[in-house]
């Protein structure tokens, strides 16, 4: 490495091989190489469900369940009553039904798989009608029109970008139609002169025409978030009550569990999905299943999910609590003489393709250093152990306190010390 640096002209002379500083730099290199590639980072972005940072943090109960099931044998597909082969789905389906009011449910690898399986099993070679305003692309090039095509179904678009009515669906339904598909415009909003049909109206159309009403909900919430100022996210049980036959949602967005795709709704449709040949290829593994079951149980009485599930805790956290954490971090960084540090107003977001327009009031610690640009400081903190990922605003580095936990603070101080310290 030194030779490369000298040849490229980046370095002019050899270091003092006997110095403490050289030994320390070698030790740092060795430590860096021994770190796992996939590792924990501190999320100081203020985005609670950050898709690039692993989405939902799991509850301790979910982690314990993964540890127990992963470290031993389990009744994953074994019925302890009969002593015969059992179903892996049995561990969560009745919990999902209890929490959503669905007749039946099945879980697969993620919500994208849930949409694909639902369409393959019900609409292959037949038409799926979707509003032009809801032909979404979510991250990772998951585009609804492409997924419909890959499922073997034929997309029939109706309405306009901003306005679609139930009558547009009605006129498009023919003998070839299998599914009316609604999707949650989870990462954008069309505002102004808009209209989307009511679920109840689509449900009665589906019933009359013997087609299936499905909804790709993306980030499914099981509880009412309106008390926290978040009013745009529909609750799964309300969607089923409105007459939707099958609803699909993620396990690791607002639900706050592991990666999973949950499909809930009519029992006859769920059993068609269960017997589809590709169901096996999309199935959820035992660790995720263990974590999902434990997370779902935290929604059951007498638990308060807002106290127990990290995603919900982070969004329900009072601004006073966020403020107090930001003050503590500001004081500790200032006390250690680690740059020009001040408290700033900020806005946190739910993320994960949920509630794109609704910010959560938050506080951030804003840092600038006389020795670094904000970009250089951000890069140095990403290289720390553990890495810290924050925001840059007006050439200052910002740490949003809503997504930082109190336990992260010593590691943040240590990282700043190693980067900005004497
Ligand atoms: C996030 C999302 C998905 C995909 O969910 P994954 O669990 O990431 O596969 C599908 N549809 C919508 C509307 C989404 O928001």
What pLDDT is stored for residue 64 in this prediction? 98
- Nearest C-alpha to atom 15 of ligand 1 is from which residue? 218
Residue 181 alpha carbon to ligand 1 centre in Å? 15
Task: Say whether pLDDT at 306 is over 90.
Answer: yes
Which pLDDT band, with edges at 50, 70 and 90, does 356 fall under? low
pLDDT at 186: 78
Element (H, E) at 333: helix 319-335
Average predicted confidence (pLDDT) for the chain? 93
Q: How far is the CA of 113 from the centre of ligand 1 (A)?
A: 9
Per-residue model confidence (pLDDT) at position 228: 85
Its pTM surpasses 0.85: yes
Q: Is the pLDDT of residue 86 over 80?
A: yes
Residue carrying structure tokens 């609590």: 321
CA distance 42 to 401: 11
DSSP E strand stretches across 284-370: 340-351, 354-368
Tokens standing for residue 24: 């320390």
- When pLDDT is cut at 50, 70 and 90, the band that residue 354 belongs to is low
The model's pLDDT over 15-43, given as tens digits with 9 standing for 90+, comes to 999 999 999 989 988 988 888 999 999 99
CA distance 170 to 178: 13
Contact 419, 380 (CB under 8 A): yes
- Percentage helix, strand, coil for the chain under 3-state DSSP, each rounded to 5: 40, 25, 35
Position 291 pLDDT exceeds 90: yes
Q: What tens digit of pLDDT does each residue of 167-187 get?
A: 999 999 999 999 999 998 877
Beta strand 261-265 with 154-158: parallel, antiparallel or unpaired?
unpaired
Task: Write the Ramachandran bin of 14: left for phi over 0, alpha for psi from -120 to 50, otherwise beta.
Answer: beta
Tallying the residues shown for the chain, one arrives at 422
Rounded distance between C-alpha atoms, residue 361 and residue 62, angstroms: 29
Span between the terminal Cα atoms of the chain, in Å: 25
pLDDT in tens, 205-244: 999 999 999 999 988 899 999 888 787 789 999 999 999 9
Please give the helix or strand (H or E) that residue 375 lies within, else none. Answer: helix 374-382
Give the mutation target among 50, 111, 249, 258 for probing the ligand 1 site: most ligand atoms within 8 A of CB.
Answer: 111
Q: Is the CB of residue 250 below 6 angstroms from any atom belonging to ligand 1?
A: yes
């Amino acid at each position: 490495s030194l030779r490369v640096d000298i040849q490229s002209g980046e370095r002019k002379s050899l270091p003092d091989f006997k110095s403490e500083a050289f030994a320390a730099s070698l030790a740092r290199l060795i430590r860096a190489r021994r770190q796992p590639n996939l590792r924990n980072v501190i999320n100081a972005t203020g985005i609670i469900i950050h898709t690039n940072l692993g989405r939902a943090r799991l509850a301790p109960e979910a982690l314990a369940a993964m540890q127990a099931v992963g470290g031993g044998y389990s009744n994953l597909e074994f019925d302890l009553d009969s002593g015969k082969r059992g179903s892996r789905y049995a561990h969560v389906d009745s919990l999902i039904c209890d929490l959503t009011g669905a007749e039946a449910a099945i879980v697969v690898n993620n919500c994208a798989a849930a949409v694909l399986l639902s369409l393959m099993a019900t609409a292959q070679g037949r038409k799926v009608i979707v509003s032009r305003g809801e032909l979404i692309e979510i991250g990772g090039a998951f585009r609804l029109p492409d997924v419909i095509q890959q499922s073997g179904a034929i997309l029939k678009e109706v309405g306009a970008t901003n306005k679609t009515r139930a009558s547009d669906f009605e006129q498009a339904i023919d003998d070839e139609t299998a599914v009316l598909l609604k999707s949650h415009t989870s990462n954008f909003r069309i505002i102004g002169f808009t209209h989307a049909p009511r679920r109840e109206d689509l449900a009665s159309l589906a019933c009359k025409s013997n087609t299936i009403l499905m909804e790709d909900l993306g980030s499914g919430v099981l509880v009412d978030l309106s008390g926290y100022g978040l009013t745009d996210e529909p609750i799964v049980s309300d969607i089923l009550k409105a007459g939707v036959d099958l609803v699909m949602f993620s396990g690791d967005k607002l639900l706050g569990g592991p990666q999973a795709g949950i499909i809930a709704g009519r029992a006859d449709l769920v059993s068609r999905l269960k017997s589809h040949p590709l169901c096996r290829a999309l199935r959820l593994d035992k660790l995720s299943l263990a974590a999902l079951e434990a997370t779902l149980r935290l929604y059951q009485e007498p638990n308060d999910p807002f106290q127990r599930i990290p995603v919900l805790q982070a969004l329900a956290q009072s601004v006073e609590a966020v403020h107090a954490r930001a003050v503590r971090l500001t004081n500790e960084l200032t006390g250690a003489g680690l740059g020009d540090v001040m408290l700033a107003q900020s806005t946190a977001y739910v993320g994960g393709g949920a509630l794109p327009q609704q910010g959560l009031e938050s506080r951030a610690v804003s840092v600038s250093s006389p020795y670094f640009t904000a970009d250089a400081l951000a890069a140095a903190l990403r290289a720390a152990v553990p890495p810290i990922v924050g925001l840059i605003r007006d050439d200052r580095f910002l740490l949003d306190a809503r997504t930082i936990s109190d336990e992260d603070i010593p590691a943040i101080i240590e990282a700043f010390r190693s980067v900005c310290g004497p």
